Chain A
């Protein structure tokens, strides 16, 4: 038997050259290169990230997160992956998802669809799942009325894709670009964020005043990554999640009911698109229960949202269409579902939902405008991982709130509440560090994402909120009109039908590994510590 060490540089003939010789004769053998060294196939490559020296120590290749080929939010191109392990880094340490469950796996690729891995992947191997193709098809289809909504954060992200500084404000140009791409109406998710505050704020008041049996603290429900996280890891907290849908889903539901009715458009012809800073929104839009319009019209085929584009996908569509960003005018949203308050705008940053809710809930309980503090709720602003605040509400008492962003921080906060060392009435959680402005669908302006980019986007939202006159959700005229002419009031029967939802435990799809989780939370895990 031959030894591997025998594989020496020995002259021999290969079959390739033998055939060459058969055809052309071997007189010129040495000229045509018949003389070759002994060879083995393969081993021609290189594993990036690996210092190429013999060692018994685990090398610098770290592997990668598993991704379901059917994941509705993210996809990976194997040709670009260099096994650097950055996706594991964020998924495990920032989001506490990868590595938190015991092996063997059950029947799921555990993923909350946050898309943070798309922001950390140095080569761009992980990207959002493609929805551009379907949107382009719909735009070409003359039987479809293609209507789009844009999330708060999108207008402080899109510009970066066109070389503008972090956080550049491009709301008007974004609207103009969407019209030029062929969308027939451009609506604002901010409208639905105000609507969310009306519903979620009313729900909070019912919980605070004991009118509803649902428990405190109330947890926000507008981040679909966070919602799935609760469904996986904290199913016992599901009753605490606000039943209010996210703004995206609310807008989708009223678009194909209220708006369709009011304008006489056949809801079956509407193709409803949203532009989001988020990949989890893609997952949210395909959750089976989100066909409120379908139930309303008794037509199961009607989905509230038909396609979700990330900001990056929109930028790509614009580039493909050859739109010159710098020459776009600033245009305004279409009316009926196009007005948004400053409170809705700051939904995009961590602490923003809380601040928006406080402004409106205070007003609802006291009948008065909230104090100035609620218009710059400093304790819940900024990038610390867990933030808290409290406010005296006349006629009720002290309301205690907490905010977390990034799921590592959310776990820390929830575990504190669970252990009874902290008590709150209302908790806001966003999966992505910084909130939606740091979402998995935002431009990769720094890789991995840096706090200064996050801050610049947050600053932009806060400046616009402070400069505006409409800063409270309950003052949104189009929302008022929606209640007046269609829904009645917050938490009405119809509101419940269209704007609220329930949750499903996913605990059976994984077995949490408490010890591994503890190590992750303590931040002590290094890849080298694996067995």
Chain B
């Protein structure tokens, strides 16, 4: 997947303006909820905040140093959510994004359990909820555009490009000695399409340190083994119904003829 698209986040260049969070909401038509801010010291990542910006009051060389960490789906190269999904609602596209399709989703929420970064969220408040997560603006990418957030960033902290090129740029920047010697996302979870570099150790900025560098499908299976049988049974029933109705639909569609075409 090295020819695929990626974003390099240079945490030293972020001024904390939150433009990225607003761009995401504008493009994706997401709602604002005063009780669930997308920015600040304690932002809330939920079904309408696909991306959040956390202010971290860290330290560097004994002096206070504030950093702002944009978080969203990491768009893994080998996504655990994809392999945990029985109905193929999660897919990794060749262009890079891991895309979720509510029309295929059975609602089992395995993806939420499988994700090492706890990204997929559930629309708990809705009568018929979907899973919800950053799509890396796949429809923009499909038209040769970059993700909305990267477009809006006034400082260049978010850089969109080919993963391989961005890795090169990142490693060149590391050579200046002004960063900690790591590209987060280069290996995490088997590699991700979102890459981060920082001048402050990632652990101090709330990044997960213990994400395996192996790809995750195996671990996802492990999760699934632990899921209660009842739930699995429920899911199986659901899937069965889904198939049944799909067949009925096919019949109906045939009857409708070309009306929808």
| A interface residues with partner B (beta carbon < 8 Å) | 1-5, 7, 11-16, 18-19, 21-22, 26, 29-30, 34-36, 38-48, 50, 54-55, 58-59, 61-67, 69, 78-79, 81-83, 85, 88, 103-109, 527, 530-531
| Contact assessment for B28 and A107 in the assembled complex, using a CB-CB cutoff below 8 Å | no
Q: Which residues in B have their C-beta under 8 angstroms from that of A4?
A: 93-95, 97, 99, 138-139, 141-142
| Contact assessment for A78 and B38 in the assembled complex, using a CB-CB cutoff below 8 Å | yes
| Contact flag A58-B151 (CB < 8 Å), given A11-B260, A42-B29 | yes
8 residue pairs A–B, Cβ–Cβ below 8 Å: A4-B95, A11-B260, A43-B140, A48-B26, A54-B145, A62-B152, A62-B154, A66-B15
| Contact assessment for B63 and A12 in the assembled complex, using a CB-CB cutoff below 8 Å | no
| Contact assessment for A530 and B17 in the assembled complex, using a CB-CB cutoff below 8 Å | no
Interface SS majority for chain B: mixed
Chain A's nearest CB lies how many Å from the CB of B128? 5
**Roughly how many angstroms separate A289 CA and B27 CA in the complex, as a whole number?**
46
Q: Which residues in B have their C-beta under 8 angstroms from that of A43?
A: 27-29, 135, 137-140
Choice from A1, A3, A35, A48 contacting B253 with Cβ under 8 Å? A35
Chain A's nearest CB lies how many Å from the CB of B254? 11
Chain B's nearest CB lies how many Å from the CB of A374? 46
**Roughly how many angstroms separate A42 CA and B137 CA in the complex, as a whole number?**
8
Q: Which residues in B have their C-beta under 8 angstroms from that of A58?
A: 151
| B interface residues with partner A (beta carbon < 8 Å) | 11-19, 21-23, 25-30, 32, 38-40, 50, 57, 63-67, 91-95, 97, 99-107, 128, 130, 132, 135, 137-145, 148, 151-156, 199, 241-242, 245-246, 248-249, 252-253, 255-256, 260
Choice from A3, A44, A63, A105 contacting B153 with Cβ under 8 Å? A63
Q: Which residues in A have their C-beta under 8 angstroms from that of B249?
A: 11, 13, 26, 29, 34-35
Q: Which residues in A have their C-beta under 8 angstroms from that of B11?
A: 104
| Contact flag A14-B103 (CB < 8 Å), given A22-B241, A63-B154, A531-B156 | yes
The 7 A-B residue pairs with the shortest CB-CB distance, nearest first, are A63-B154, A54-B144, A42-B28, A14-B103, A44-B29, A63-B19, A45-B29
Chain A's nearest CB lies how many Å from the CB of B243? 10
- By beta carbon, the residue of chain A nearest B38 is A78
| Contact assessment for B93 and A1 in the assembled complex, using a CB-CB cutoff below 8 Å | yes
Kindly list 4 other residue pairs between chains A and B, CB separation below 8 angstroms, not including A11-B260, A30-B255, A59-B151: A40-B101, A43-B27, A43-B137, A54-B143
| Contact assessment for B102 and A41 in the assembled complex, using a CB-CB cutoff below 8 Å | yes
| Contact flag A106-B64 (CB < 8 Å), given A35-B252, A63-B153 | yes
| Contact assessment for B241 and A12 in the assembled complex, using a CB-CB cutoff below 8 Å | no
| Contact assessment for B106 and A15 in the assembled complex, using a CB-CB cutoff below 8 Å | yes
| Contact flag A3-B93 (CB < 8 Å), given A29-B249, A30-B256, A43-B137 | yes
Chain A's nearest CB lies how many Å from the CB of B49? 11
| Contact flag A107-B57 (CB < 8 Å), given A61-B23, A79-B32 | yes
**Roughly how many angstroms separate A46 CA and B24 CA in the complex, as a whole number?**
10
Interface SS majority for chain A: loop
**Which of A2, A4, A109 has most B Cβ within 10 Å?**
A4
**Roughly how many angstroms separate A54 CA and B23 CA in the complex, as a whole number?**
17
| Contact assessment for A46 and B27 in the assembled complex, using a CB-CB cutoff below 8 Å | yes
| Contact flag A13-B246 (CB < 8 Å), given A58-B151, A530-B156 | yes
**Roughly how many angstroms separate A316 CA and B46 CA in the complex, as a whole number?**
35
Q: Which residues in A have their C-beta under 8 angstroms from that of B260?
A: 11, 35
| Contact assessment for A47 and B151 in the assembled complex, using a CB-CB cutoff below 8 Å | yes
| Contact flag A29-B248 (CB < 8 Å), given A43-B137, A61-B152, A78-B38 | yes
Q: Which residues in B have their C-beta under 8 angstroms from that of A47?
A: 23, 26-27, 148, 151-152
**Roughly how many angstroms separate A48 CA and B25 CA in the complex, as a whole number?**
12
**Roughly how many angstroms separate A449 CA and B248 CA in the complex, as a whole number?**
64
Choice from B32, B50, B253 contacting A42 with Cβ under 8 Å? B50
Q: Which residues in A have their C-beta under 8 angstroms from that of B154?
A: 62-64, 85, 88, 527, 530
Chain A's nearest CB lies how many Å from the CB of B40? 5
- By beta carbon, the residue of chain A nearest B103 is A14
| Contact flag A64-B128 (CB < 8 Å), given A47-B27, A54-B144, A54-B145 | no
| Contact assessment for B15 and A18 in the assembled complex, using a CB-CB cutoff below 8 Å | no
Q: Which residues in A have their C-beta under 8 angstroms from that of B255?
A: 30
Q: Which residues in A have their C-beta under 8 angstroms from that of B102?
A: 14-16, 39, 41
| Contact flag A15-B103 (CB < 8 Å), given A40-B138, A45-B26, A106-B66 | yes
Q: Which residues in B have their C-beta under 8 angstroms from that of A109?
A: 15-16
Q: Which residues in A have their C-beta under 8 angstroms from that of B252?
A: 26, 29-30, 34-35
Choice from A7, A18, A30 contacting B245 with Cβ under 8 Å? A18
- By beta carbon, the residue of chain B nearest A104 is B12
| Contact assessment for A13 and B101 in the assembled complex, using a CB-CB cutoff below 8 Å | no
Choice from B101, B132, B153, B155 contacting A103 with Cβ under 8 Å? B155
Choice from A2, A46, A78, A104 contacting B32 with Cβ under 8 Å? A78
- By beta carbon, the residue of chain B nearest A88 is B154
Q: Which residues in B have their C-beta under 8 angstroms from that of A82?
A: 26
Chain B's nearest CB lies how many Å from the CB of A392? 50
| Contact assessment for B152 and A3 in the assembled complex, using a CB-CB cutoff below 8 Å | no
Chain B's nearest CB lies how many Å from the CB of A428? 31
Q: Which residues in A have their C-beta under 8 angstroms from that of B246?
A: 12-13
Chain B's nearest CB lies how many Å from the CB of A12? 6
**Roughly how many angstroms separate A108 CA and B153 CA in the complex, as a whole number?**
19
Chain B's nearest CB lies how many Å from the CB of A222? 30
Q: Which residues in B have their C-beta under 8 angstroms from that of A2?
A: 91, 93
| Contact assessment for A83 and B16 in the assembled complex, using a CB-CB cutoff below 8 Å | no
Chain A's nearest CB lies how many Å from the CB of B66? 5
**Roughly how many angstroms separate A262 CA and B15 CA in the complex, as a whole number?**
51
